[in-house]
Amino acid sequence: MGFLYSQFFRTPPYPKGSFRGKTVIVTGSNVGLGKEAARHYARLGASQLILAVRSVDKGEAAKEDIVRTTGLDNIHVWKLDMRDYGSVQSFASRAEAELDRVDIFIANAGVVRAQYHQVNGHEEGIAVNAISTALLMANMMPKMRETAARFNTRPTFTITGSAAYEHTTFPQRSAPDGQILTALSDEKTCKQYWSQQYPVSKLVQLLLVRAIAHHHPASEFPVTINIVNPGLCWSELAREATGWGFWLFRLVVARSTEVGSRTLVHAGASGRETHGKYLSDCTMEEPSALVTDAAGREGQERVASELVKAVEAIQPGVSRNFQTV
């Protein structure tokens, strides 16, 4: 009932304020939530806006639409394919070299698959939503920390999460030490719990954000890292979903992508008080017991440790970017 109350009676406020002087990056911004969030940032005067997209052609079309509706012309389209770890690293290197600052990073790109697919040795949702997002965050930290020090500001890295995380029992946490990510990508296990695969990928994101903040609190770490639930929206994320039942459910319950995108803008503009926090309907919300009870805290440490090892295997030394200085 909490979900339905949120969808019907808690409309996120329309974004106001100014982002003048700010450089904003939004991934997955050629459609849906990312595009509408980018439009808000453009409307509110962001000095520079980067649309990070898998398809540059679609990104250019989104840019043209945003320019037409907001008048902001300092918008750039950069290639980022979250299925390709090399693309993630190249994107971050480009940001380091070409951008004077990065104030807000909205990590919105994600995937939901109707069937099992494997990418880079992992189930695609785990590879993209969890490992690739962790790699991207780690690679963006040096530039965002530099921004904090150079401009006396506090940048924000926001991950688009989902309340769907509540719809998994997280059966894979019973795996032996160091084997949770392996269990999350095991084809037989995935197919057995397929309805939980997307929710568990969003749970992994939430656990990572909380673990980073636990070990590197806001008082010591100069970048705010948070995660936001935009609610159920009419986005293309679930474009592979089939069946009239789900279509009708979305028709009745879902928010527009513009309304959902307001939560992304709010999270990106939020301060140190949201470091490590889960935001929903533009407020901080305590996660469920799946996350906060003793088993949840243990799972959090195990998942975070495995994600660190996964990104270290891809790029040795990159996890040092999360250390406090």
The answer to whether 106 touches 27, Cβ cutoff 8 Å, is: yes
Rounded average pLDDT over 239-258: 59
* Strand blocks (E) in 80-195: 104-107, 118-119, 122-123, 156-160
Determine contact, residues 267/143, Cβ cutoff 8 Å: no
32 touches 284 (CB < 8 A): no
Query: What CATH architecture is 19-232+261-314?
Result: 3-Layer(aba) Sandwich (3.40)
User: How is the chain split into domains, by residue range?
Assistant: 19-232+261-314
pLDDT digit string (tens) for 287-312?
999 999 999 999 999 999 999 999 99
Active site amino acids: 198, 202
Specify the pTM.
0.92
Mean pLDDT of 152-179: 96
Q: List, in order, residues 6 or more apart from 244 with CB less than 8 Å away.
A: none
pLDDT in tens, 5-61: 564 556 899 999 999 999 999 999 999 999 999 999 999 999 999 999 999 999 999
